[in-house]
Amino acid sequence: YYLGMAYLNGLYKNIHWPQAIYYLEKASDKGIAKASYYLATAYYTGLGKGKNLNKAKIYYQKAIDSGEKFPPLNFEISEEALQ
């Protein structure tokens, strides 16, 4: 998780999206809710690998299933905007 966040925040000189996504996906697979939330946000906004609302929903659901509180992502507005 922390390595993914370091790449996400540019702590290794520049932001490196592929590495950030890679390490956040690994952390999410291990059940780290914050990693799932940051992945949901990245896929929701299109940062890194491009916009993917299906993946955003999966990772967001994974994050909130942990029981932690996260700000909501408004998928309804995004889906309408894509049409």
Residues 22-42 pLDDT 10s: 889 999 999 999 999 989 988
- The residue behind tokens 């702590």 is 11
From the CB of residue 37, how many other CB atoms can be counted at a distance below 10 Å? Answer: 22
pLDDT, one tens digit per residue, over 43-82 is 988 877 788 989 998 998 899 888 888 877 766 644 444 4
Q: What are phi and psi of 9, to 5 degrees?
A: -95, 5
CA distance 65 to 48: 24
